[in-house]
Amino acid sequence: MSTHPTTINAPEGTPFLDVVREFDATPAQLFRAVTEPKLVAQWLGPRDLEVEMEEYDARPGGRYRFAHTGGHLGGEHAWFNGVFHTVEQDKLIIRTFEYEGVPGEVALEIMRFSVVDGRTRLSQRAVFPSLETREGALSSGMSFGIEQSMDRLSELVERGV
């Protein structure tokens, strides 16, 4: 199991959230794991939740919509959606992200894949519409979900996906 930590940084006074993690995988393996719906459903979110994938079309102009279910949510569904704007194979994804429980608060997410010391670094920046929106997302337990997602993603790519 990987021992690479996930770094989450919320710069004070900004609406940004930066997440960085290195993976023992190639950019192609990691890119595949974050763009193929069946693979995304295996790692996205905390361990006690499942993903119900309605749509996940990782191409420019493609849409996605999924729900987290079970676990600490009980019988509830937490729905998320967005649109892919830029998808450059093994390099870059730019998309929007919206939690449907707080409609109209759409974040812009930028994911960069780079090789560093033989590993693939995934650098993500989320730009929220306001500092208050970012703080609300963080207070909802988003950091816990990010850390568990990154651990699960690492486990998935280490299995050779």
In a domain? residue 53: no
In a domain? residue 65: no
Determine contact, residues 93/35, Cβ cutoff 8 Å.
yes
The SS3 of residue 60 is coil
CATH number of the structural domain spanning residue 24:
3.30.530.20
Determine contact, residues 153/8, Cβ cutoff 8 Å.
no
In a domain? residue 63: no
Show the DSSP H helices in the chain as ranges. Answer: 27-35, 37-43, 131-139, 142-158
Q: What residues are paired with 8 via a beta bridge?
A: 19
Token reading at 35: 């763009």
Give CA–CA dist 41/52, Å, rounded: 7
| pLDDT tens digits along 8-25 | 999 999 999 999 999 999
In 3D space, the residue among 103, 143, 141, 130 whose CA is nearest the CA of residue 18 turns out to be 143
Tell me the pLDDT band of 41, cut-offs 50, 70 and 90. Answer: very high
| pLDDT tens digits along 124-140 | 999 999 999 999 999 88
Dihedral pair phi/psi, residue 126, rounded to 5°: -105, 130
Task: State how many domains the chain has.
Answer: 1
What does the pLDDT average to over 74-84? Answer: 88
In a domain? residue 104: yes
pLDDT of residue 2: 59
Reduce the secondary structure of 33-69 to three states and give it as a string: HHHCHHHHHHHCCCCCCEEEEEEECCCCCCEEEEEEE
Give CA–CA dist 23/111, Å, rounded: 14
pLDDT of residue 69: 86
| Percent of the chain with pLDDT strictly greater than 70 | 99
In a domain? residue 55: no
Q: Which structural domain, as residue segments, surrounds residue 38?
A: 7-48+90-158
Compute the Cα dihedral for 32, 157, 52, 93 and give only its sign. negative
How many residues are there in the chain?
161
